[in-house]
Amino acid sequence: MRKRPENTCCSVIEPTAAEPSHIIRAARRAKALGDPIRVEILQLIAAQDDPLCACDIVDRYGKSQSTISHHLKLLTEAEVVHCQRSGLWRFYKISALGTTLLRILLNPAN
Amino acid sequence: MRKRPENTCCSVIEPTAAEPSHIIRAARRAKALGDPIRVEILQLIAAQDDPLCACDIVDRYGKSQSTISHHLKLLTEAEVVHCQRSGLWRFYKISALGTTLLRILLNPAN
DNA sequence: AGAATACATCGATATTTATCGATCTTTATT
DNA sequence: AATAAAGATCGATAAATATCGATGTATTCT
- What are the pLDDT digits (tens) for A22-81? 999 999 999 999 999 999 999 999 999 999 999 999 989 999 999 999 999 999 999 999
Angle between helix B96-106 and A96-106 (nearest 10): 170
Restricting to A residues 44-103, those with a Cβ less than 8 Å away from any Cβ of B are: 44, 46-50, 52-53, 55-56, 79, 86-89, 95-97, 100-102
Q: How far, in Å, CA of B62 to CA of A106, rounded?
A: 34
Model pLDDT, residue B1: 37
List Cβ neighbours of A46 (8 Å cut-off, separation of 6 or more).
A94, A98, A99, A102, B15
Å separating the CA of residue B63 from the C1' of nucleotide D1? 35
pLDDT in tens, A89-109: 999 999 999 999 999 999 988
The minimum CA-CA distance between A64 and chain B, rounded to whole Å, is 18
Taking alpha carbons only, the member of A12, A78, A9, A37 closest to residue B49 is: A12
Contact between B23 and A40 using a beta-carbon 8 Å cutoff: yes
Contact between A26 and B102 using a beta-carbon 8 Å cutoff: yes
Model pLDDT, residue B19: 85
Q: How far, in Å, CA of B45 to CA of B57, rounded?
A: 9
- B8 pLDDT higher than 70: no
Q: What are phi and psi of A81, to 5 degrees?
A: -130, 160
What single-letter amino acid sits at A41? I
Asked whether the CA dihedral A24, A29, A31, A32 is positive or negative, the reply is positive
Share of chain B above pLDDT 70, in %: 91
Specify the DSSP class assigned to residue B108.
T
Model pLDDT, residue A109: 84
- A6 pLDDT higher than 70: no
The minimum CA-CA distance between B40 and chain A, rounded to whole Å, is 7
Task: Report the greatest alpha carbon distance in chain B.
Answer: 70
pLDDT in tens, B37-74: 999 999 999 999 999 999 999 989 999 999 999 999 99
Model pLDDT, residue A19: 85
- B5 pLDDT higher than 60: no
Query: CB contact, 8 Å: B21 with chain A?
Result: no
In chain A, alpha helices (H): 20-32, 36-47, 65-77, 96-106
Query: CB contact, 8 Å: A32 with chain B?
Result: yes
Reported confidence tier of residue B17, pLDDT bands at 50, 70, 90: confident
Contact between B43 and A56 using a beta-carbon 8 Å cutoff: no
Buried b (16+ CB within 10 A) or exposed e, A39-75: bbbbbbbbebeebbbbbbbbeeeebeeeebeebbebb
Task: Report the greatest alpha carbon distance in chain A.
Answer: 70
Reported confidence tier of residue A20, pLDDT bands at 50, 70, 90: confident
